[in-house]
Structure 1
Amino acid sequence: MTGLWDLTWTQVETYLRDDDRVVVPLGSTEQHAHLSLGTDAILCERGAVEAAAPEGVPVLPVLPFGLTPTFSAYPGTISLRMTTYLALLGDVLDSLYTQGFRRIVLLSGHGGNAPAQQFGQEWNAGRPDAEAMFHGWYTDPRIWSLATGLAEAGHASWVENFPASRVEGVETPAGSKPLVPPSALQGATPEQVKELLGDGSAGGAYQLDGGEADTVWNAAVTLLRERLTSGWHGR
C-alpha cells in the first residue's frame, strides 16, 4: 500500500476488509528561508509514505495549507482561518469514517497545526469506535530533543534541509545563524516577525554534512511506524 492517489477505489474497498488505518499528512505553505515554500508539506508526506509503506497503510495526499499567520508578511505564505482549517479537518475525518476507516493518524508537519490535536480529541469523543491520533512529525518532543541534541536547530535550518525541500538554482548559505528565541516572536506582528528573522531562518546551521539530518529523519520514520502499529488506545 502507498499513497491514496496510487490506488483505485476498489483497491481501497478491498483494503478496508482487513484494515482500518490511514494517515492524513497535515502540511503548510510558508516561508522556509532558502528552502521551498512547501517544505512542511513535502517532508511530512514523504515521511508518512516511508513509515506507512511496510505496514501496508495508505497515505492521503498532504493537506498543503495550514495555520501560519506568523509568517504572513513573507510572500508565498498561505494561512487559513482557524474556522476554515477545522471545518476542513472535520470533513476529511467524517468522509474517512463513513467509508470504514477507524484508526486515523493526523500527522502534522507544521507546528502551527497543533489545534488539530484538540480537534481530533473532540471528534473522537463522539465516535467511541474510532480514533483520530495526532502525531507531530518533527515537533514530537522525542524527535525535536534528538535534533537539538545534535546541533542547534530552528525553523528552516539544517533539520529541514533535504534534496526534496531545496529549490533548483538556489544555493544554501554556508555557516549558521544565531537562534531567535520563540519568545521574541510571541505577540509580534507579521511585519515584526519578518524584521526579526530577515531571510526567514530562526537560527542554527543552514546545512550540516555529518548526516545529522538523516539521523533525525530516520528516527522520525521509526517513531511514526511504531505509533501506527502500537500507538492506538485500547487496540
Structure 2
Amino acid sequence: MKLWDHTWMQVEKYLEHDDRVVVPLGSTEQHAYLSVGTDAILCEKGAVEAARSEGVPVLPVLPFGLTPLFTAFPGTVSLRMATYVALLTDVLDALYAQGFRRIVLLSGHGGNAPAAQLGQEWGAAHADAEVMFHGWFTDPRVWSVATGLAEAGHASWVENFADVRIDGVGIPAGAKPLVPPAALRTASPEHARELLGDGSGGGAYQLEQHYADKVWATAVTLLREQLSSGWNARK
C-alpha cells in the first residue's frame, strides 16, 4: 500500500500492530529509448505490488541515486555520495523515530549498492531495528531468471514495460551486442557514452511481453517472500 494513500492517523494505527516499511530507491538516468525515470517507476510499482498482500506501506520512490557513469547523457541526475548517504540516513532516522523497526531499502538501480553498507552500519547502531537491502531486478536470483531467458543489458527487453515506454518513440527491433561490463567499470562518462551509443547495454530491445513479465513475476514473488520471512530474529 502506498504511504501517500493514508492519513497520519492511519499510519499511527498501522504502527500499533506492524513495524515494516519499504523505501524504494530509484534513479533518474538514460535508458536508451525508455523513460529516464525507468528505475524509479518500476521500483515503486514493484514494491507496491509485492507489499500489497502483506499490508506493508511503501514510501514514494526516491527519484535520484548514484549514477555518475551516465552523466554525459542529458536527463541523467546523479547525487554525490555524501548527499546520498545523508539523505538516506535522515529517512532512516525519521522512520525509526516514528516506530518503524523493519525497513527495506529496495534498490531499483545497481549504482545504489552503497545503500546496503549504509543500512548495515545504521542497523548496527540501532539494536532494536533491522534494515534489509534488496535489489529489485538486480538481485542475483532475479537476474539469473532474466539471463536464462535471453541476453540482457541495461535498457534492454528486461526493462521494457508499458509504464516506461514513451509515446511516439519507436523501439528498435533486433538486438545489440552486449557492451563488456569491464570496459564500463573504468570508463569516464564521456567514454561510457561512446561505448553505449544509444544508451542500451546490449541484448534485444524488445521481446514478446511474456519474457519480461516472467522476470517481473519472479521479482515480485521474491520481494514478497523477503517482506514476509526474510527478517533476522529480532535483536
* Structure 2 length-normalised TM: 0.99
What are structure 2's unaligned runs of at least 5 residues?
none
SS in 1 for 2:152: coil
**Structure 2 letter corresponding to 1:94:** D
The letter of the residue matching 2:176 is: K
| CA–CA separation in structure 1 for the residues paired with 2:79 and 2:125 | 25
Q: Is residue 2:168 matched to residue 1:169?
A: yes
CA deviation string 1:151-198 (max 9, x = no partner): 000000000000001111111111110000100112111000000000
For residues 69-80 of structure 1, the aligned pairs below 5 Å read: 69-80=68-79
Q: Which residue of 2 aligns with 1:189?
A: 188
Gaps of 5+ in 1: none
> Which residue matches 1:216?
215
User: How far 1:123 moved relative to its partner?
Assistant: 0.2
Quote the offset at 1:128 in angstroms: 1.0
- In the other structure, the counterpart of 1:16 is 15
SS class of match (1:211): helix
- Aligned position for 1:54: 53
For residues 174-226 of structure 1, the C-alpha deviation after alignment (integer angstroms, 9 at most, x for no partner) is: 11100001001121110000000000000000000151100000000000000
Residue identity (%): 75
Other-structure match for 2:42: 43
Give the AA of the match of 1:102: R
Q: Say how many residue pairs are matched.
A: 234
Structure 1 residues 185 and 7, CA gap change in structure 2 (3 angstroms): same
Counterpart-to-counterpart distance in 1, 2:138 and 2:161: 17
**More off after superposition, 22-31 vs 181-190:** 181-190
Report what 1:85 is aligned to. Answer: 84
- Give the aligned residue type for 1:200: G
Q: RMSD between aligned alpha carbons?
A: 0.6
Q: What secondary structure, in the 3-state scheme, does the structure 1 residue paired with 2:53 have? A: helix
SS in 2 for 1:24: strand
Q: Distance in 1 between matches of 2:18 and 2:209?
A: 40
Distance 1:210 1:76 in 2: 27
Deviations 1:121-158 (A, max 9, x none): 00000111000100000111000011001000000000
* Residue 126 of structure 2 corresponds to residue 127 of structure 1: yes
Please give the residue correspondences for 1:102-141 in structure 2 after superposition, counting only pairs within 5 Å.
102-141=101-140
What code does the residue aligned with 2:178 have?
L
Matches within 5 A, 1:148-159: 148-159=147-158
Give the corresponding residue for 2:201: 202
Matched letter for residue 20 of structure 2? R
TM-score normalised by L of structure 1: 0.99
Structure 1 counterpart of 2:205, which letter? Y
- Tell me the alpha carbon deviations over residues 44-89 of structure 1, each in whole angstroms, 9 at most, x when there is no partner: 0000000001100000000000000000000000000000000000
Which stretch of the first structure deviates more once superposed, 203-212 or 100-109? 203-212
Other-structure match for 2:30: 31
Q: Residues of 1 paired with 2:185 and 2:53: CA distance?
A: 40
One-letter amino acid of the counterpart of residue 114, structure 1: A
Structure 1: distance between partners of 2:223 and 2:168 = 33
